[in-house]
Amino acid sequence: MAVPIAYYLVLSAILFSIGVGAFLIKRNIITVFMSIELMLNAVNLSFVAFAYQWHRVQGQIFVFFVMVVAAAEAVVGLAIIIAIFRSRSTLNVDQVNLMKL
Amino acid sequence: MTGNPSLHLWLIPLLPFLGFLLNGLLGRHLPKALVSTIALLFTAAPLALVAGIALRFRSLPLPYIERTAMPWIITSAFRADFAFMLDPLTLVMLLVVTGVGFLIHIYSVGYMAHEEGYWRYFAYLNLFMFFMLILVLAENFLWMFVGWEGVGLASYLLIGFYFLRESAASAGIKAFLLNRIGDFGFLLAMFLMIAHFGSLSFNRVFTAIAEHPQMQGGFLTAIALLLLLGATGKSAQIPLYVWLPDAMEGPTPVSALIHAATMVTAGVYMIVRSHTLFDRSPFALGVVAVIGAATALFAATVGMVQTDIKRVLAYSTISQLGYMFLACGAAAYSAAIFHLVTHAFFKGLLFLAAGSVIHALGGQQDMRAMGGLRKATPVTFWTMSAAVFAIAGLPPFSGFFSKDEILYQTFLSPTAGPILWLVGLVTVLLTAFYMFRLWYLTFFGASRAEPGHEHPHESPWVMLVPLILLAVLSVAGGWIGIPRALGGNDQFAHFLDPVLSPPSPPSYEQIRITMNEQGVARAAEASTPQAPARPAGNDNQERLFSVLSVVMALAGWFMADLLYRRKPAMAHQLAQRAGGAYGLLLHKYWIDQLYNALIVVPLLFLTRYLLWGAVDSGIINGGGSAAAGTVRGLGALVQRVQSGNIRSYAGWLAIGAAALLLLTYFGFSMHV
């Protein structure tokens, strides 16, 4: 018997909230980066759940798009993180504040 | 218009303007010889044009009106053209302006030879000629006003020519501001004319007045009085005369051209030009006459005690302009113009000769440091003598005829009358006194020159030739208008008759002849006498008056002779004996101080504390500051958001997303 959609959505919301919370709290850039991935995947989960619920393929396709973007983002983001580490010898976001007035 | 070949009147003012442009834009880099050549050429050319017109004047259809192809201002209710007009009055003014103007240009070449800003001087002088010729040639009040303002500008620039000297700079500003007051009156008069006649064209306005004999007084008086206010500003009459004595800060040839011969007579010209208007308002004429007589007497009394040679001449100019106003007020317009012409000759000459004296003494203007110049500067002495005799009104010099005409007409006129005539007669005595005083102090007795200037030298010929020419005109200039009583035939008055003769000016009807015959019939019907009736005098009476004024002039001469040649000590005694009156005159009746206390100080107070302190600093500045402060405070507040901390940005992002979400949720739920 099928799991009701509400379960998926609640799980998705929990994952997303954990992502947001980690994003706001964590100082290590890699952790921040991972929390973004967590948020993206929380959204992916709700896409898939709805696709299954309504028997529509668009949600699944959208998930692929998100994955592609996430992969690209990972490439660029990790490159930036390496560049930051090389120049600053730290991964603490609070010290990456050149734009501060 | 008339089918005749165009006279190209527009060229007359335009040529000096070209000279102004050339000298003004390029003069700085040109050698002095070229600058003066340009200036002289572009002044001689209009003189030649005017002379050409004068030669064939008799054969021209008058008045000749020339319009440029393009209108200037055109609205549904009002139209103004760049129109030029030629009639006998214009011709007289043109001859005076270009003739005397050209002579003074020549003189300036010598006088200004060693001055800084030579090119600037001649550029301004040509600019003045441009505006003055527009003023004289204009066919409507607005176009005339352009010239009117323009000569004021040129006058301002030339008074302040030595702008490094503070007194010169402030004299320029004073002249400009006082003229503004007069121009204000002129402007209001024009607005009234537009309101009542829908036009500013001389032809239209005067024809409209001529066609409506029922128009008397009322708004015509208002217009006339406002025009008079304008004229008192430009022609330095009471109450706006105070700028003219200060205007002597400019170079002397400027004083001769602008502040004696031409510009200051613009007010007289304007009144004579609009005489149709003044004729309908005996009250306004009376005011003109009273102002003229009062100014003549008042300025003459001040002129008696001044020690600066140019200031004496300045007050003399004011006084003589007063005579012209008196003539206007007596509705003796041709006498006014006659005196304007002779005055241009002899007063221009007086100033130029004074300039020559000043030149000879190395810049000395105080008559107490002159004396005995007769031998050293013979040409200056003889030419100036001609002018002195002319202004004093001794026959057969020019001033005698014109002044006599004015006095006689004043006596006869219902708007002026015997009392004003008496004032004029006393002024004759004073005039002769102060002029001969100047003459004796400058040329006779022992030299009182300051050390270093004991050997005055005669001026160069380039300055003496204009003096001699003007001297000839000062002697003979009056012979064009010898009255019938004295064996002449009033040629000058007859020449101006087409413009001035009452009842209605037929000259303006002549245009209508060429335009349509019906108009003439209508105009002829409407022509009714409008000038106040003037009792006819007889020849014997006129001769008696002449003798009277000559006796007065001789009396003035005798007094000056007594006080300044035979018994020089007496002058001091007299001055001490009449200490109060003398001080009053010496300080020019304290008028400058009075104006200062009554007008300038309150105005400055108002400006400084109310307008500047309260309105400018408080409201305008304060408003700006408040707006700037608000923005700055808001900025400081919002600035905190830009912390540079990535996590705080993320936090704002999250809050924003949450807010959007809530808004969407509740927003939808509210609509549903």
- Residue B60: per-residue pLDDT: 80
**pLDDT > 70 in chain B, percent:** 93
B650 interface with A at CB cutoff 8 Å? yes
Between the CA of residue B94 and those of B46, B47, B52, B54, B91, what are the distances in Å? 9, 8, 12, 10, 5
User: Which chain A residue's Cα is nearest to B644?
Assistant: A100
Lowest mean pLDDT among B249-253, B444-448, B506-510, B558-562: B506-510
Contact call for A97 and B642, based on CB within 8 A: no
Q: With an 8 Å Cβ cutoff, is A22 touching chain B?
A: no
State how far the Cα of B64 lies from the Cα of B85, in Å rounded to an integer.
6
Contact B404, B546 (CB under 8 A): yes
Q: Is B642 on the interface with A (CB under 8 A)?
A: yes
pLDDT over 80 at B141, yes or no: yes
The answer, yes or no, to whether residue B470 has pLDDT greater than 70, is yes
**How many domains would you assign to chain A?**
1
Q: Is the dihedral of CA B109, B112, B116, B120 positive or negative?
A: negative
Per the domain annotation, does A86 fall within a domain? yes
Sign, CA torsion B5/B7/B333/B183: positive
Nearest CA in chain A to B652: A24
Neighbour-count burial of B132, counting CB atoms closer than 10 A to its CB (0-12 exposed, 13-18 middle, 19+ buried) = buried
Cβ–Cβ below 8 Å for A24 and B642: no
Closest CA of chain B from A89, distance in Å:
18
Closest by Cα among B213, B228, B220 to B195: B220
pLDDT band at B5 (very low <50, low <70, confident <90, very high): low
Letter string b/e over residues B187-216, b meaning 16 or more CB atoms within 10 A of that residue's CB = bbbbebbbebbebbbbbbbbbbbbeeeebe
Question: B66 has which bridge partners?
Answer: B84
Length of chain A measured in residues: 101
For residue B361, pLDDT over 90 is answered with: no
Other residues' Cβ atoms within 10 Å of the Cβ of residue B123? 26
Which among B414, B392, B411, B412 has a CA at the least distance from the CA of B403? B392
Look-up of token digits 């993320």? B650
State whether residue A97 sits within 8 Å of chain B by CB.
yes
Q: Is A43 on the interface with B (CB under 8 A)?
A: no
Distances (CA, A) of B334 to A67, B251, B401: 106, 32, 12
- Mean pLDDT value across chain B: 86
Residues of A in contact with B648 (CB under 8 A): none
Asked if pLDDT for residue B73 goes beyond 70, the answer is yes
Q: Using CB atoms within 10 A of its CB, is residue B153 exposed (0-12), middle (13-18) or buried (19+)? A: middle
pLDDT (0 to 100) of residue B326: 94
CA distance B360 to B596: 36
Structure tokens given for B629: 């402060």
Contact yes or no for A101 and B644 at CB 8 A: yes
Which 3 state secondary structure label does DSSP give B140? strand
- Given a cut of 90, whether residue B429 has pLDDT beyond it is yes
pLDDT for the residue B512: 44
Whether the per-residue pLDDT at A1 is higher than 60: the answer is: no
Residue B385 CA, distance from chain mean position: 26
Q: Is the pLDDT of residue B519 over 50?
A: no
What residue in B sits closest to A25 (Cα-Cα)? Answer: B647
**Tokens of residue B185, six digits:** 């009156």
Contact A97 B654 (CB under 8 A): no
- Geometric angle at alpha carbon B274, from B230 and B2, rounded to 5°: 130
Model confidence band, residue B21 (pLDDT cutoffs 50, 70, 90): very high
A99 band by pLDDT with thresholds 50, 70 and 90: low
Cβ-Cβ contacts under 8 Å, B651 against chain A = 24
Number of Cβ within 10 Å of residue B289's Cβ equals 27
Of B639, B645, B650, the CB nearest to A23: B650
What pLDDT, on a 0 to 100 scale, did the predictor assign at position B123?
Answer: 94
Report chain B residues whose CB lies below 8 A from the CB of A101: 639, 642-644
Q: At what angle do helices A5-25 and A29-54 cross, to 10 degrees?
A: 170
In order of B83, B134, B395, B510, B660, the CA distances from B203 in angstroms are 11, 17, 39, 11, 78
pLDDT on residue B500 = 82
Taking the CA atoms of B54, B57, B61 and B63 in sequence, report the sign of the dihedral they define.
Answer: positive
Is A29 within the bounds of a domain?
yes
CB contact under 8 A, A99 and B644: yes
| Residue A100 resides in a domain | no
In this prediction, residue B468 has a pLDDT band, given cuts at 50, 70 and 90, of very high
Please report residues of A whose CB lies closer than 8 A to that of B650: 23-24
Q: Which residues of chain B does A98 touch, with a Cβ-Cβ cutoff of 8 Å? A: 644
Q: Which of B84, B136, B3, B82 is nearest to B513 (CA)?
A: B3
Please give, rounded to a whole number of angstroms, the shortest distance from the CA of A17 to a CA of chain B: 10
Residues 531-590 of chain B whose Cβ lies under 8 A from any Cβ of chain A: none
Indicate the burial class of B649 (C-beta count within 10 angstroms; 0-12, 13-18, 19 or more): middle
CA atoms within 13 A on the CB side of B104: 35
Which A residues, 67 through 86, put their C-beta within 8 Å of a C-beta on chain B? none
Q: Chain B within 8 Å of A1 (Cβ-Cβ)?
A: no
Best of A29, A36, A91, A99 to mutate (most B CBs within 10 Å, chain B): A99
| More reliable by pLDDT, B350 or B669 | B350
- Does A93 contact B644 at a Cβ distance shorter than 8 Å? no
Report the CATH number that the domain containing residue A87 is assigned in CATH.
Answer: 1.10.287.3510
Which residue segment(s) compose the domain that A68 sits in? 5-95
ipTM metric: 0.77
| Mutant choice from B638, B639, B640, B645 vs A, greatest count of A C-beta within 10 A | B645
Q: For residue range B296-319, what is the model confidence (pLDDT) as tens digits?
A: 999 999 998 888 999 999 999 999
> Region B93-112: what's the mean pLDDT?
93
For residue B657, the chain A residue with the least C-alpha distance is: A20
Q: Is there a domain that residue A27 lies in?
A: yes
- The residue in chain A having the minimum alpha-carbon distance to the alpha carbon of residue B649 is A24
Q: Does B644 touch chain A (CB under 8 A)?
A: yes
How many contacts (CB atoms, under 8 Å) link A and B? 33
The model's confidence at residue A100, banded by pLDDT at 50, 70 and 90, is: low
Q: Give the pLDDT confidence score for residue B522 in this predicted structure.
A: 45
Task: State the average pLDDT over residues B41-58.
Answer: 91
Q: Is B640 on the interface with A (CB under 8 A)?
A: no
Return d(Cα B100, Cα B94) in angstroms, integer: 10
pLDDT score of B521 = 41
Q: Give the model confidence (pLDDT) of B175-233 as tens digits.
A: 999 999 999 999 999 999 999 888 888 988 998 888 888 878 788 999 999 999 999 99
Q: Work out whether the CA dihedral A53, A57, A60, A62 comes out positive or negative.
A: negative
Q: Are B325 and B319 in contact (CB under 8 A)?
A: no
Mean pLDDT for B460-473 is: 92
Chain A CB contacts of B645 below 8 Å: 93-94, 97, 100
Is the pLDDT reported for residue B573 higher than 70?
Answer: yes
Q: Which of A4-18, B330-344, B567-581 has the lowest mean pLDDT?
A: B567-581
Return the residue of A nearest to B647 by Cα: A24
Contacts of B653 in chain A (CB under 8 A): none
- Residue A71 confidence (pLDDT): 94
Read out DSSP for B571-629? HHHHHHHTHHHHHHHHTGGGHHHHHIIIIIHHHHHIIIIIIIIIIIIIIIIHHHHHHHH
Task: State the average pLDDT over residues B522-544.
Answer: 60
CB pair distance less than 8 Å for A24 and B651: yes
Record: contact B645-A94, CB cut-off 8 A: yes
Which residues make Cβ contacts (< 8 Å) with residue B65, sequence separation at least 6?
Answer: B1, B83, B84, B85, B86, B139, B203, B511
Q: Please check the confidence at residue B451 and state whether its pLDDT lies above 90.
A: no
Q: Decide if A14 is inside a domain.
A: yes
For residue B527, pLDDT beyond 50 = no
Q: What percent of chain A has pLDDT over 70?
A: 94
